[in-house]
């Protein structure tokens, strides 16, 4: 072998050694990656086969680095894919948990399935499993996001469409979509929402006002008849305007026109009609209706036959129409309602006492105002009837009307149109197991209708009012229906109802907008009955009836203007007439309306607030201070009713901060003007209507107080200062009213109890004790007068926080006396909550 051959062999050997070293380094790195992926899988709790790892290690140890690298690389890649897929699934399941969603298989099951495949060396199948489940979960999450967006769009679509069409028929499906979304059934929520959105859009595109025209049937030939032309919109879409062209009868002034007419509403046009000849003559009316949604116009010709009399043959058209209307609106025959309730059989001794208590209070309500003997019985047996309950049966109609801020002369004077009669009938004739909610826009008279149902049911059976959230099923045992007005303002109450698996006998009211925001588990327990606005014809009757009840004269033009201003809201009429009575104005005129009213409830309330708080465009001295106090009442006081002394104490507390932040001071004249305008009985103050609350919360596009309201909220609400000042006001209010009560416990009894009612509704027991409120004195005075509703409510709250023996506690079907004392020996009750106050929404 030559020298060159030897050199060549050495060179080849060195190259082979270098290559072997490279293979070694690559294989070692690959094995390290495999070890890392194995460690990660073990850390994740995954099982896997080590067959490939062992084979690679064996080849590595034998020096077959290429073979070892090939096996280790393939195994590492597959193991890494399984790890990555598992990590992705872990993250996706966390997202499912965040949205409270469930997958077909739970996470642990999928982990076990993946481990089983990896342990068998079936890494490819494990990777496929991860990919498949990832795709399914991502699709599930995508469906949820889509469903959430569509349900929100559905709700917004309904709210937007409400301005132009009747939306009642779409609401149940929208609620179903919300329920499916709540249950995370995204596909059904998507299906219903997409269909509903299309249906609403189709309604907006295709529904049109359907105009019915009624001409007077007693016109006189060859004379100018001052006549009423009734234009009704019987369709489901709002008419922006309607113009009429009449051919066959001469119309003084030519064309007749209206303003906007809501669905199922009407407008009267006063016109001069001049028929040329007597007899039964055909009149062609061309009805041009402009739709509010898009301004498109529909034109329809209609032939109407009109009876025209010879001169001197009949009365004028207006008189004839009024005569007919008077005949049509004769009082309906009153149907007697027979009492049907009796105390159930098979009760325990305590339950019999409760049943007797319910029966006596019912009897008192039915015999009011001649119920003194029964009230004496309840008072004289107050120790026997020491009962704590989550509901109260009122002893007279006066107290329930005061609690619901209704006019004192309302009972027996409630005006019901056909829809409201139907609502009352549906609830009155329903089975006990059914729950109802009366839904409507602000001002349509939901509370009035709720009272009418309450009062009518009381003639047949005892019914009660929910007083706190400790709801049981005792009312079901006694078959007593329970009412609550404006449920959206009581979160503790609707959350307690939502938490119950089932409940019966509830009748509530709620605003349309707030109802859709309440929990689905709560809403699904109720059948909704929607109350529309009154038609113009019904509003005219209501106005005339309200004026007559309050002995106020009027002229026809002013009545028509008031109907227009009220926009179908009976509360508007009631508020305006109440102000007239308060101001001793005994005639409704155009001049009075021009100076003291604006169109729509929000406009009317805004005008009143401007008059109270401002002089021209500038705030009066103390105007911003009074505004802050009204905001406090609207947003930080339970049920928005408060003892006047507590509100005045709060006004004192906020005086210095208002001067510091807004350079405004407590002016008693401005403050008193505002307080005098609020409603309420005795020492309580409250808002005349919840539209006041809307304005004071800054709602409304044209709300002139909004900038100042936002500034006050930033300084006092967002910082928690409102709540602190509210607590600071306790001491002054308590000391003042307690001293008055001690001086004259007969005259000041009602005021004392009303303050205790306010305090126990809004503060913790610990807060009250900290501010030196004598809880024992509160309990003692309330116990002495427990036959009165306000005292019973106070005791119910105290018993809910600190039960005492000798009191029958009503919650579930098992009714018994509490055996927990108040001395702390049997229970450690230090910071029990009587009731937490809620900030306004």
DSSP 743-808: H-TTTTHHHHHHHHHHHHHHS-HHHHHHTT--HHHHHHHHHHTTTSHHHHHHHHHHHHHS--TT-E
pLDDT of residue 841: 38
Asked if residue 87 lies in contact with residue 114, where contact means CB atoms within 8 angstroms, the answer is: no
pLDDT digits (tens, 9 = 90+) for 139-173: 999 999 999 999 999 988 988 898 899 887 888 88
Q: Residues 274-303: what's their mean pLDDT?
A: 88
Reported as type and span, the H/E element at residue 42 is helix 3-43
Location of structure tokens 């009660």: 464
CA angle 188, 100, 512 (to 5 degrees): 60
Burial class (CB within 10 angstroms; exposed 0-12, middle 13-18, buried 19+) of 464: buried
Which tokens belong to 407? 């006019």
Q: Which residue has the higher pLDDT, 16 or 816?
A: 16
pLDDT band at 17 (very low <50, low <70, confident <90, very high): low
> Is the pLDDT assigned to residue 831 strictly greater than 50?
no
Query: Which string of DSSP letters, residue by residue, matches 86-106?
Result: HHHHHHHHHHHHHTT---SS-
The class level of CATH for 533-597 reads mainly alpha
Q: For the whole model, what pTM was predicted?
A: 0.59
Strands 808-809 and 816-817: antiparallel
pLDDT of residue 332: 47
Distance (Å) of CA 261 to CA 170, 256, 417: 21, 14, 18
Q: Which fold has domain 211-328?
A: Immunoglobulin-like (2.60.40)
Per-residue pLDDT at 658: 95
Average pLDDT score over the chain? 86
Q: How many CB atoms lie within 10 A of CB 630?
A: 27
Flag whether pLDDT at 824 surpasses 60: no
- pLDDT, tens digit, 9 for 90 and up, residues 362-412: 999 999 989 999 988 988 888 888 888 889 999 999 889 888 888 877 888
pLDDT of residue 807: 66
Asked if residue 623 has pLDDT above 90, the reply is yes
Q: How confident is the model at residue 817 (pLDDT cuts 50, 70, 90)?
A: low
* pLDDT(256) > 70: yes
349-532 shares its CATH topology with 533-597:
no
- What b/e readout covers 322-361, taking b as 16+ CB neighbours within 10 angstroms? eeeeeeeeeeeeeeeeeeebeeeeebeebbebbbebbbbb
Q: What percent of the chain has pLDDT over 70?
A: 91
Q: Where are the domains of the chain?
A: 21-121, 141-206, 211-328, 349-532, 533-597
Please measure the distance between the N-terminal and C-terminal CA atoms of the chain and give it in whole angstroms: 102
pLDDT at 775 (0 to 100) = 94
CA geometry: angle 773, 774, 775, nearest 5 deg: 100
User: With bands split at pLDDT 50, 70 and 90, how would you rate the model's confidence at 562?
Assistant: very high
What pLDDT digit, counting tens, does each position of 463-507 carry?
999 988 889 889 999 999 999 999 988 888 999 999 999 999 999
CA–CA separation, 815 and 315 (whole Å): 70
CATH number of 349-532: 3.40.50
The CA distance from 468 to 392, in Å, is 10
pLDDT band for position 317 (cuts 50, 70, 90): very low
């Amino acid at each position: 072998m030559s020298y060159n051959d030897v050199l060549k062999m050495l060179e080849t050997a060195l190259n082979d050694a270098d290559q072997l070293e490279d293979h070694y380094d690559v294989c070692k790195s690959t094995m390290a990656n495999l070890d890392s992926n194995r460690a990660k899988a073990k850390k994740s709790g995954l099982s896997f086969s080590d067959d490939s790892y062992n084979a690679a290690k064996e080849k590595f140890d034998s020096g077959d680095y290429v073979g070892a690298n090939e096996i280790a690389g393939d195994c590492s890649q597959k193991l890494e894919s399984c790890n990555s897929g598992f990590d992705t699934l872990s993250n996706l399941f966390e997202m499912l948990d965040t949205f409270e969603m469930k997958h077909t298989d739970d996470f642990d099951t999928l982990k076990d399935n993946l481990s089983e495949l990896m342990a068998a060396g079936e890494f490819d199948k494990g990777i496929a499993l991860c990919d498949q489940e990832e795709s399914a979960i991502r699709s599930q999450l995508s469906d949820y996001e889509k469903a959430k967006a569509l349900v929100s769009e559905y709700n917004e679509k309904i709210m937007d469409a409400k301005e132009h069409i009747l939306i009642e028929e779409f609401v149940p499906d929208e609620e179903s979509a919300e329920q499916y979304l709540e249950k995370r059934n995204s596909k059904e929520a998507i299906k219903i929402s997409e269909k509903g959105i299309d249906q609403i859009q189709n309604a907006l595109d295709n529904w049109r006002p359907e105009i019915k025209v009624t001409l007077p049937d007693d016109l006189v030939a060859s004379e100018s008849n001052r006549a009423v032309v009734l234009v009704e919109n019987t369709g489901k879409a709002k008419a922006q305007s309607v113009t009429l062209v009449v051919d066959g009868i001469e119309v003084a002034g030519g064309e007749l026109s209206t303003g906007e007419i809501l669905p199922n509403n009407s407008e009267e046009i006063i016109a001069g009609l001049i028929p040329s000849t007597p007899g039964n003559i055909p009149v062609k009316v061309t009805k041009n209706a402009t739709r509010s949604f898009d301004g498109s116009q529909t034109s329809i010709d209609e032939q109407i036959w009109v009876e025209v009399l010879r001169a001197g043959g009949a009365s004028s058209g207006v008189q004839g129409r009024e005569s007919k209307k008077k005949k049509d609106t004769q009082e309906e025959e009153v149907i007697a309602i027979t009492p049907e309730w009796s105390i159930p059989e098979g009760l325990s001794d305590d339950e019999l006492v409760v049943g007797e208590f319910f029966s006596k209070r019912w009897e008192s309500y039915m015999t009011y105002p001649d119920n003194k003997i029964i009230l004496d019985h309840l008072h004289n047996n107050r120790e026997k009837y020491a009962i704590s309950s989550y509901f109260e049966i009122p002893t007279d109609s006066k107290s329930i009307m005061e609690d619901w801020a209704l006019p004192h002369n309302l009972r027996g004077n409630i005006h019901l149109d056909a829809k409201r009669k139907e609502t009352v009938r549906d609830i009155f004739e329903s089975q006990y197991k059914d729950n109802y909610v009366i839904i409507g826009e602000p001002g349509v008279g939901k509370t009035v209708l709720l009272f009418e149902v309450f009062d009518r049911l009381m003639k047949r059976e005892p019914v009660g009012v929910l007083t706190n959230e400790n709801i049981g099923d005792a009312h079901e045992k006694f078959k007593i229906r329970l009412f609550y007005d404006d449920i959206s303002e009581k979160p503790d109450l609707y959350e307690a109802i939502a938490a119950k698996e089932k409940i019966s006998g509830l009748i509530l009211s709620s605003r349309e907008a707030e109802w859709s925001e309440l929990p689905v588990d709560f809403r699904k327990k109720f059948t909704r009955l929607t109350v529309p606005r009154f038609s113009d014809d019904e509003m005219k009757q209501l106005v005339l009836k309200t004026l007559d009840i309050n002995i106020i004269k009027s002229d026809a033009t002013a009545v028509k203007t008031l109907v227009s201003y009220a926009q179908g809201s009976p509360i508007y009429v009631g508020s305006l007439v109440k102000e007239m009575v308060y101001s001793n104005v005994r005639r409704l005129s155009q001049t009075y309306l021009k100076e003291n009213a604006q169109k729509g409830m929000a406009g009317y309330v805004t005008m009143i607030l401007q008059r109270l708080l401002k002089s021209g465009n500038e705030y009066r001295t103390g105007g911003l201070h009074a505004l802050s106090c009204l905001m406090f009442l609207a947003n930080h006081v339970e049920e928005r009713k408060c003892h006047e002394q507590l509100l005045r104490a709060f006004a004192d507390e906020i005086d210095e901060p208002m001067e510091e932040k807004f350079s405004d001071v407590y002016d008693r004249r401005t403050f008193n003007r505002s307080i005098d305008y609020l409603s309420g009985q005795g020492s309580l103050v409250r808002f005349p209507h919840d539209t006041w609350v809307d304005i004071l919360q800054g709602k409304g596009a044209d709300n002139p107080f909004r900038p100042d309201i936002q500034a006050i909220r930033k300084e006092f609400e967002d910082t928690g200062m409102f709540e602190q000042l509210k607590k600071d006001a306790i001491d002054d209010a308590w000391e003042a009213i307690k001293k008055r009560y001690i001086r004259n416990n007969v005259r000041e009894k009602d005021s004392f109890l009303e303050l205790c009612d306010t305090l126990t509704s809004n503060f913790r027991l610990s807060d009250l004790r900290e501010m030196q409120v004598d809880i024992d004195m509160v309990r003692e005075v309330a116990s002495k007068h427990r036959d009165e509703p306000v005292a019973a409510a106070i005791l119910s709250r105290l018993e809910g926080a600190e039960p005492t023996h000798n009191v029958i506690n009503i919650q579930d079907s098992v009714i018994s006396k509490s055996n927990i004392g108040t001395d702390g020996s049997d229970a450690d009750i230090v910071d029990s909550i009587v009731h937490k106050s809620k900030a306004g929404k």
